[in-house]
Amino acid sequence: MVESLIALGSNMGDREGNLRRAFGMIGRQMKLVKISSVYETEPMYHEDQSWFLNCVAAVETDSSPRELLERLQTIELEMGRERSVRYGPRVIDLDILFYGNEIVSEPSLEIPHPRIAERAFVLAPLNEISPKLIHPVLGRTVSELLDDLKTQKKVVRKLKRASDLAHSS
């Protein structure tokens, strides 16, 4: 079993309900170990859209990185995710942030996620559950990456216990 960290985000429809449903689907396939609070976050890259709810979950999985990606993409599809506008609105977004300490570089899979260090909406919830985790490429802890982040994007803790969403699914 490997501990993997997954980012969850939603900015369409019932955002809390979407996270709840995603937790339920993930929990049927792997063990949810830790879950951050839920944060309401300002969109990045494509700013003309609704704010997101974001959180991070640690899971234990026996899937390979590629299999894990395929499982997460299947969940996204089953929940109605459509990939039309890059960084655009989405019912659910599930990204692999880390897979143990492995570094994976394939055409459609990069682990650690290549944009972790620029995203407050990932670093804030990740720091809550794994502040001392060392990024295997950058050689810095999550806490250090968050401290060094230079962004004006707002990230506000909304629900202190996202685990309540996971356990009510």
In this predicted model, what pLDDT tens digit does every residue of 32-77 receive, in sequence order? 999 999 999 988 777 778 888 999 999 999 999 999 999 999 999 9
Is there a catalytic annotation at residue 90?
yes
Run of H or E residues at 106: strand 104-106
Concerning whether 164 is annotated as a catalytic residue, the answer is no
Note the residue count of the chain.
169
pLDDT digits (tens, 9 = 90+) for 74-120: 999 999 877 666 666 889 999 999 999 999 999 899 999 999 999 99
Q: One of 15, 20, 21, 95 is an active-site residue; which one?
A: 95
Q: Which of 20, 90, 119, 140 is catalytic?
A: 90
What pLDDT is recorded for position 18?
A: 96
Catalytic residue among 15, 20, 21, 81: 81
Which of the following is catalytic: 15, 20, 21, 93?
Answer: 93
Q: Which tops the pLDDT comparison, 88 or 157?
A: 157
**Domains of the chain from N-terminus onward:** 2-114+156-163 (3.30.70.560)
End-to-end CA distance of the chain: 24
Distance from C-alpha of 169 to C-alpha of 160, rounded to nearest angstrom: 17
Q: CB–CB of 129/32 below 8 Å?
A: no
Whether residue 66 lies in the annotated active site: no
pLDDT tens track for 5-34: 999 999 999 999 999 999 999 999 999 999
- 93 catalytically annotated: yes
